[in-house]
Structure 1
Amino acid sequence: MYIETVPNRNSPPAILLREGYREGGKVVKRTIANLSHWDPQLIEHLRILLKGGVAVESARALMSIERSLPHGHVAAVLGIARRCGLAKLLDPAPAPVRSLVLALVVARVLEPGSKLATWRNLQPESATHSLSQVLGLGAFEAERLYAALDWLGVAQPRIERSLARQHLGNGVLVLYDLTSTWVTGRHCALAHYGYSRDGKRDDPQIVFGLLCSADGCPVAVEVFAGNTADPATLAAQIDKLKERFGLSQVVWVGDRGMVPCARIEQVLRPAGMSWITALRSPQIAELIEDRGPWQPSLFDEHGLIALDSARYPGERLVVCRNPALAEERARKRAELLAATEVELAAIAQATARTRNRLHGQDKIGLRVGRVIERYRMAKHFDLEITETSFTFTRKQAQIDAEAALDGLYVLRTNVPSEQFSDAQTVLAYKSLAQVERAFRSMKTVDLHVRPIYHFNESRVRAHVFLCMLAYYVEWHLREALKPLLHDDEDLATRRDQRTNPVMPTPRSEGANAKAARHRTDDALPVHSLHTLLQDLATLTYNITSTPVNPQAKIVITTRPTPLQSKAFALLGIDPACSQ
């Protein structure tokens, strides 16, 4: 006997119990009963019985789910951490410490927070994802997590050497930039009041510099006291490259604040290093006086002019002009000048009114100072303040001189043109945006290095290094998942092939199509990395047991959706085998 479903035109199909047998050498069948009115679950039980199976009262009698944890994002981040070689870099540590350090790095990508919050999320009874189960951590004290962080701080030089061997070499580009972040409390020896790039002038700061390869992959990080100036950190990085990494010659790429003329003469040139940096505005003005003004018509289709100068013997200067940048700076200056004039005119009118006249040189000066400070336009105005009056006029000659530099920047390098062409030099300098992206990810978007709650100097350094390793994992994760992200997959190739390296590289047709449709070519939704990890987290890690042997735990992961399958295929990871 068997159960057959028979279509019934526009009505629901008929569910029939039938019997098949032979009659006169032919196979015939007959209907024994109409089961259409039965409960679907009862029909399925009968179907199992007819096939020789055993029907049970409910699915719970076979297996029960004891716990279900978000797992897909854990499998993705942990899998890429192993694929990119980070897990192997932790091998010298004892197994328990190695697992905890790996958990710290992965948890920083998944759910950045304080170490205590991370410890709670890794405890079996309060876990918010499957990371603890996958790594087999079990229950442990918070002190063990801090001990793992301390081990990571001690291992930082060795790990950075391994990363440098993998991503750097003699003659390659090295990107370097500096940023700051605030520290909670007043007891950290590194915390000092200094220039805050986050606008937190009321809080003590630390400063940290990030070394990256030419494609933006982080290699090393170093923490400095919060009152350390940018150029003062350069010598320490040169020593690190030469002594710790064994690199005798690299091309150092830094912005005009990081690599000023004094540091080139005092640090880079004596060390035998090459450099690509930019001139400051006063140096550009001196160059214009020597070589004459550069009209837009002088720039070729590449948007640049190569020249030399007696002020920089043995070096190349590449003058770049970006028309879009020139237009934007002119617009912004005009708006700031107009806004400043409106408020200064109101102050001048207040000094001339008949009632409640504003008077007193100090009072007038304070109000003028607030306006000038807000718009930072003091250099473009002549101000005359007396006890009873206030007048102002534009410094038009100075405004015109500044406008002549709009959209212009001059690169300075001692790298021979045979090694780096003028266009390649411009692209190398613009690649500093990769370091800015790393800072943005570490500080605000993904990893949240700030605020820092540690007071011990060594733990502050270890915390920043931990965030760098988390960004190292995230960088590889982004590279692998680009087809599913809003990122432009062909940006690097098209940037190298452009005739005008000064202008921004437009997005490719494929990237524009993804942005317009919010879908990939195979009709999958396009995500940011954050929302993609949220989607992957819906693939769960289920701990089950059976009544026959309740002590035996069976782990079952849910079936991936098409998007999740594509993501794991790009990563080369099987989420069911992530342990």
Structure 2
Amino acid sequence: MYIDIVPNRKSPPAILLRESVRDGKKVVKRTIANLSSLSLEQAQLIRQILKGEPLVAPEACFDIVNSKAHGDVDALLLTMRKLGFNNLIASRSSKERDRVVAMVASRILNPESKLAFSRSWENSTLGETLGIEDTREDDLYAAMDWLYERQDTIEKKLAKRHLSPGDHVLYDLSSSYVEGKQCPLGKRGYSRDQKKGKLQVNYGLLTDGRGCPVSLSVFPGNTSDATTFLPQVERVQNDFGLESVILAGDRGMISEVQLNVLRERPGVDWITALKSGAIRKLCDEQAIQLALFDERNLFEFTHADFPGERLIACHNPELAYHRRKTRASLLEATTAALTKVQGMVKKGTLKGADKIGLRTGRVINQYKMAKHFKLDITETTFSFAIDAESVRKEADLDGLYVIRSSLKKEKRTANNIVLDYKLHILAHCEHQILPSVNTYSYPL
């Protein structure tokens, strides 16, 4: 049905309610009702209704005075309550606890500084839902001080929730660079952010075997990985009450010095990996041969240099391919750069052994390929060649790594030890990229 308005020359138009029907091969109009007594405005409204069009646009019915986001706030706070997050922070409700919950929720919903957070309450229902809409910046910093005093209690609750005797524990150290000069922990050290010349603050993350955080420790920026490890062992056994535990760390974290201490501690087993020098020695002694690897690309063996330990050699073909490709591109780039230096020496624009050495050193250090090149520098000449034997020896180790562990076979199979170490690597990667996925987490 539709409204048909038929104009009349000397009288008002006829307003007819009609429908179209087929009569044989023809389509004819059939009048259902004469609505000529209606005004044109009324006829137009009926026409809109018959077409399924709204009579009034929804936005024309309301004046939007204010709006706040609520759905994401409600969903997140409900999830936090189900996880027992509020009771984890403090068993009793308080303004400080609600402010901490709000800051964590805000970090998830819309990461921003504490000052910006305190000024954005009106954009969502987070503040009024938690009853802290009158909170200011200083209140947030005071809540953080209150939270810091509760850190030990909270971490013990987390350990009780996530760790049990004999569990697998992961530990890794990362860092953030510091802007400013007033931070007492800010020291010049290894920059994982590749921010040379910046002060650093290190932080160690202790997690369960799944990578779920349990404890966080902060150290001066010049603290090495290995020196932070043993205090974590003490914390796990003494503060968290775990008499037996399996600790996993990379070769830089668990050094030989730490292993000597761990061997004397009852209830502590460990998983780490050999450094490339030790792997090279095992390959030279034929203790590791590619023919020994099974279909899983691993095999277990023992060696006199590592008494009482289980050694598990692993070969990763994809990693081997990646390292070969990377090395080839770096050798090519270094060769091209050294060729330019060689041309400068031949033209006489670069003279003197010291100046030539400085220029070539800059190139070698940029690509970190010094071990693969033989250099011959005099006052007026410069020549170089790729050390094929050095390249071959490094290529023999491509994709090869050896995991070492104190775990007995009845506690863990070789395959499980490899999986445990890979979990540590995954946790390490997540820890390293944590700041990069959220630019608000650094600099400090």
Q: Same fold (TM over 0.5)?
A: yes
> Percent same amino acid at aligned positions?
38
Give the match for residue 309 of structure 2. 315
1:330 aligns with 2:329: no
Cα distance in 2, alignment partners of residues 131 and 101 from structure 1: 12
Comparing both chains, which one has the higher relative contact order based on Cα–Cα distances under 8 Å and sequence gaps of 6 or more? 1
> What is the SS of the residue equivalent to 1:216?
coil
2:398 equivalent to 1:406: yes
Q: Distance in 2 between matches of 1:351 and 1:195?
A: 35
Contact 2:174/2:432, CA 8 A, preserved across alignment: no
Shift of 1:228: 0.1
The Cα of 1:381 is off from its aligned counterpart by 1.3
CA spacing shift, 1:40–1:165, aligned 2, 3 Å: farther
Deviations 1:303-323 (Å, cap 9, x if unpaired)?
A: 101001111111100000011
2:183 corresponds to which of 169, 183, 188: 188
What is the letter of the counterpart of residue 319 of structure 2? Answer: L
One-letter amino acid of the counterpart of residue 218, structure 2 = V
1:147 counterpart (142, 145, 162)? 142
CA distance in 1, matches of 2:95, 2:300: 57
8 A contact 1:171–1:250 mirrored in 2? yes
8 Å Cα contact 1:108/1:447 also seen in 2: no
Deviation at 1:424, TM superposition (A): 0.9
Change (3 A) 1:449 1:7: farther
Describe the shift of the 1:231–1:440 C-alpha distance in structure 2 as closer, same or farther (beyond 3 A). Answer: closer
Separation (CA, whole Å) in 1 of partners of 2:132 and 2:77: 14
Distance 1:398 1:81 in 2: 55
CA 1:349–1:91: 2 relative to 1, 3 Å: closer
Q: Distance in 1 between matches of 2:199 and 2:384?
A: 38
Q: Distance in 1 between matches of 2:174 and 2:236?
A: 20
Change (3 A) 1:199 1:301: same
Q: Check 1:36–1:232 CA distance in 2 against 1; reply closer, same or farther (3 A cut).
A: same
Residues 193-232 of structure 1 aligned to structure 2 (within 5 Å): 193-232=188-227
Query: Residues of 1 paired with 2:66 and 2:264: CA distance?
Result: 62
Provide the C-alpha distance between the structure 2 equivalents of 1:216 and 1:228, rounded to a whole number of angstroms: 23
Shift of 1:293: 4.6
1:98 alignment counterpart: 97
Unpaired runs of at least 5, structure 1: 1-5, 18-31, 44-56, 453-579
Taking a change above 3 Å as real, the CA distance of residues 334 and 59 of structure 1, as seen in their structure-2 partners, is closer
- Matched residues in 2 for 1:382 and 1:319: separation? 32
Aligned pairs, how many? 411
CA distance in 2, matches of 1:138, 1:294: 67
2:88 paired residue number: 89
| Aligned: 1:116 with 2:111 | no
Tell me, yes or no, if the aligned pair for 1:193 and 1:201 is still in contact at 8 Å: no
**C-alpha distance in 2 between matches for 1:88 and 1:110:** 21
User: Residue 378 of structure 1: which of 345, 370, 374 is its match?
Assistant: 370
Distance 1:256 1:336 in 2: 25
Instruction: Give me the whole-angstrom Cα distance separating, in 1, the residues matched to 2:18 and 2:141.
Output: 66
Alignment of 1:287-306 (within 5 A): 287-295=282-290, 297-306=291-300
**Residue of structure 2 equivalent to 1:555:** none
Asked if the contact 2:288–2:313 (Cα under 8 Å) also holds between the matched residues in 1, the reply is no
Q: Kindly report structure 1 stretches of 4+ aligned residues shifted beyond 6 Å.
A: 32-36, 40-43, 57-64
Q: Does the CA-based 8 Å contact 2:171-2:249 persist in structure 1?
A: yes
Cα drift, residue 345 of structure 1: 2.0
C-alpha change, 1:111 and 1:140, in structure 2 (3 Å) is same
Q: Provide the C-alpha distance between the structure 2 equivalents of 1:174 and 1:327, rounded to a whole number of angstroms.
A: 31
Q: Which amino acid aligns with 1:405?
A: L
Q: How does 1:383-398 map to 2 (within 5 A)?
A: 383-398=375-390
- Aligned mates of 1:256, 1:244 — CA distance in 2: 26
Q: 1:329 to 1:7 in 2, by over 3 A?
A: farther
In structure 2, the residue matched to 1:37 is 43
Q: CA RMSD in A?
A: 3.0
SS of the equivalent of 2:181 reads coil
Length-normalised TM-score, structure 2: 0.85
Are the equivalent residues in 2 in contact too, given 1:174–1:211 (CA < 8 A)? Answer: yes
CA–CA distance in structure 2, aligned partners of residues 272 and 41 of structure 1: 84
Q: Deviations over 1:207-237 (max 9, x none)?
A: 0011111112111111110000000100121
Distance 1:68 1:408 in 2: 58
Pairing partner for 2:342 from 342, 348, 358:
348
- State the AA in 2 paired with 1:169: S
How far apart are the structure 1 equivalents of 2:245 and 2:20?
Answer: 77
Deviations 1:438-478 (A, max 9, x none): 425530214732111xxxxxxxxxxxxxxxxxxxxxxxxxx
Letter paired with 2:43:
H
The offset of 1:63, in angstroms, is 8.4
- Matches of 1:206 and 1:313, distance apart in 2: 38
What amino acid sits opposite 2:109 in the alignment? L
The alpha-carbon deviation at position 396 of structure 1 amounts to 1.9
- Aligned AA (2:376): E
- Distance in 2, matches of 1:253 and 1:292, equals 24
Structure 2: distance between partners of 1:269 and 1:448:
43
Q: Which residue of 1 aligns with 2:52?
A: none
Alpha-carbon separation, structure 1, partners of 2:159 and 2:433: 21
- CA distance in 2: counterparts of 1:134 and 1:164, whole angstroms: 30
Contact (CA 8 Å) 1:191, 1:204: kept in 2 or not?
yes
Q: CA deviation at 1:284?
A: 0.8
Kept after mapping to 2: 8 A contact 1:259/1:277? yes
8 Å contact 1:277–1:429 — kept in the other structure? yes
SS in structure 2 at match of 1:208: strand
